Structure 1
């Protein structure tokens, strides 16, 4: 059950990115293993949106189209990097005790 809840925290990027890891983290604080993975999943779900804020301000302040495209490409790389990270970590957690 521990692996399932931990992996579900990472796989929630598909259906409930912020809500499910937060609920699992609050509900399973006694279990350090599940709490650690749910907190990591929550941080990895929040990271692209935190990265988007400075990119958003830089995009509106940019004078050239190349700068705007560069910022957008950087955000896409950050977003898909964390998306892949969550999938890989979810699979690793499931395979840990298999």
Structure 2
């Protein structure tokens, strides 16, 4: 059960990116599950933190090329985090099996 709940925290990127890991982190007292919930929360927040400079550069950029470059960088970061969450969810399920 611990492995399933831990992997659901990572897989929640599909249906409840912040809500499920936060609820699990608060409600569950098992340190293994809480650790994975915390990692999932941080991995869901990372693209938003990466987007803050993007918004700054979009507002202050003088060239459309730089805006496109930063948007592409954000897409790469978000896709990387997305793949990471899927990978960690699968690996957590495999550990539990």
TM interval, shorter chain, is over 0.9
Instruction: Give me the whole-angstrom Cα distance separating, in 1, the residues matched to 2:25 and 2:96.
Output: 21
SS of equivalent to 1:96: helix
TM-score by length of 1: 0.96
Partner of 1:52: 51
Instruction: Give me the whole-angstrom Cα distance separating, in 2, the residues matched to 1:97 and 1:49.
Output: 30
Q: Which runs of 5+ in 1 are unaligned?
A: none
Aligned pairs, number = 97
TM-score by length of 2: 0.97
Partner of 1:82: 81
Q: Deviations over 1:16-38 (max 9, x none)?
A: 0000000000011x211000000
Please tell me whether residue 19 in structure 1 is matched to residue 19 in structure 2.
yes
Please tell me whether residue 38 in structure 1 is matched to residue 37 in structure 2.
yes
CA contact (8 A) 2:4 2:96 kept: no
CA RMSD of aligned residues (A): 0.7
